[in-house]
Amino acid sequence: MRPKAAPSQKRRTKSTEAEPARDLGTETERPLDAEDVALSLLDAKVRAEEARADLSSTEPHAGLSVRLPRAVISRLLAEAANRNITPSELIRRALMQYLPPQKAGPRR
């Protein structure tokens, strides 16, 4: 009968064994997990919202900077997130409701 090898010798031989070579040029198909599905759904939702925003207005847009207190900015961001729209879209909608309708006619 042969004596068994000491456990430390077995560990050493396992840790020094060469790993089989992998071809890194080919991708293997892997199953989707919940995170992949959630990210793809979020990405699709964002693209759809951007497309709707682009189609909703045919007027040219211009940039404007406004200074607001931090508390107002926090409320703005929270409300925009609650409605699933951008802060800019929320501001645009609020101003469209607040400002009187523009009369048709020549501009000065």
Q: What is the DSSP string of 13-44?
A: HHHHSPPPP--TTSPPP----HHHHHHHHHHH
pLDDT (average), residues 72-86: 93
* Domain membership flag for residue 91: yes
Q: Please tell me the total count of domains within the chain.
A: 1
Predicted TM-score (pTM) of the model is 0.42
* Domain assignment of residue 26, yes or no: no
Q: Is 27 among the domain residues?
A: no
Indicate whether 55 belongs to any domain.
Answer: no
Q: Does the residue 72 lie in any domain?
A: yes
Q: Report the Cα 66 to chain-centroid distance in Å.
A: 26
- Percentage of the residues of the chain whose pLDDT score is greater than 70: 62
Considering the domain boundaries, does residue 6 fall inside one? no
* Residue 84 counted as domain residue: yes
Answer whether residue 62 is part of any domain.
Answer: no
What domain range is 82 assigned to?
67-100
pLDDT tens string 5-41: 555 555 555 555 556 666 656 666 777 788 888 888 8
